[in-house]
Structure 1
Amino acid sequence: MATWEDVRRIANSLPEVTEGEHWGSTAWRVRGAVFVWERPLRPADLDALGDAAPAPGTILAVRVPEVGVRAALISSEPEIYFTIPHFDGYPAVLVRLERIGRAELEELIIEAWLCRAPRRLAKQWEADNGTAEP
């Protein structure tokens, strides 16, 4: 089970990340671009989710490369990943933090950072960490 401290540790370990606020909730940015953030559910979200709505304070929003990736995550692990109508057409997925493992969370946050980091910074990080394509 992952915690907000895990999110903070992973996100802040990446280059040029700043932690701050986004619409009144904690968010992490790389050079000003938000890549992960706390996403409280609003009344319209709760109405849309009904009984499937997770507990307050446990939802992380994570940027993904495209909406197809979001759909794949949701279909593969719907107990962890979900979305709301507000995110229709937007490349981000919502995560039930209390249900995701730390290793999977780390992979997800790194991918989100790579989506939002400037190309040169992302390529340098991949080269430094042995994940660059040959």
Structure 2
Amino acid sequence: MPHVTSETSSRGAVAYQVGGKSFLSFRTPRKDAFDPGTGEPYDDVIVFWVPSPDDKEALVQDPSSPWFTTAHFNGHPSVLLRGSRIGELRRDQLVEVVQDAWLSRASRRRAETWLAAHGPG
């Protein structure tokens, strides 16, 4: 995706941004996303911005899906994915979610230019 930069936080978490707005980030372990068996926080959570609450709901509604959310993200336009489960997604599914994340955070002009060249996902 064009105009992408990356930022690394003081805790080592990497976020990919367009126009200074994050659209995909790698979280450091937090108490809100944890292994139910051990209680240990997941150390491989990736955050993807989504275009709308409906898009978020579509991704997280199936409990067997690798997509999830936590109470911390209630009302936030994003979904979570454990890196260890990324292999459960087809490449085209992952591409679509990354493109949608970028489009949801890019400026209108950048999004329109990209869509004119590539078409909707």
> Aligning the two structures, in what range does the TM-score lie when normalised by the shorter sequence?
0.7 to 0.9
Structure 2's unaligned 5+ residue stretches are none
Q: Please, what is the CA RMSD of the aligned residues?
A: 2.5
- Structure 1 runs of 4+ aligned residues shifted over 4 Å read 52-55
Residue number among 53, 61, 72 corresponding to 1:75 in the alignment: 61
Contact in 2 for aligned 1:64/1:111 (Cα 8 Å): yes
Task: Provide the residue aligned with 2:106 in structure 1.
Answer: 117
The aligned length equals: 117
Task: Provide the residue aligned with 1:61 in structure 2.
Answer: 47
Structure 1's unaligned 5+ residue stretches are 1-13
Shift of 1:20: 1.5
Residue number among 18, 21, 31 corresponding to 1:43 in the alignment: 31
Higher helix residue share: 1
- SS across alignment from 2:33: helix
Task: Provide the residue aligned with 2:15 in structure 1.
Answer: 27
Q: Supply the distance in 2 between the matched residues of 1:67 and 1:52 (Cα, whole angstroms).
A: 31
TM-score (structure 1 length as normaliser): 0.74
- Greater mean deviation of Cα atoms: 14-23 or 83-92: 14-23
Contact in 1 for aligned 2:49/2:79 (Cα 8 Å): yes
Q: Supply the distance in 1 between the matched residues of 2:115 and 2:79 (Cα, whole angstroms).
A: 23
Q: Supply the distance in 1 between the matched residues of 2:38 and 2:59 (Cα, whole angstroms).
A: 17
TM-score (structure 2 length as normaliser): 0.81
- SS across alignment from 1:18: strand
2:105 equivalent to 1:98: no
Alignment deviations for residues 48-100 of structure 1 (CA, whole Å, 9 cap, x no partner): x6339798443210000122221111114643100111101111000123333
Contact in 2 for aligned 1:45/1:85 (Cα 8 Å): no
- SS across alignment from 2:37: helix
Task: Provide the residue aligned with 2:5 in structure 1.
Answer: 18
Q: Supply the distance in 2 between the matched residues of 1:51 and 1:28 (Cα, whole angstroms).
A: 31
Task: Give the letter aligned to residue 34 of structure 1.
Answer: S
Identity %: 32
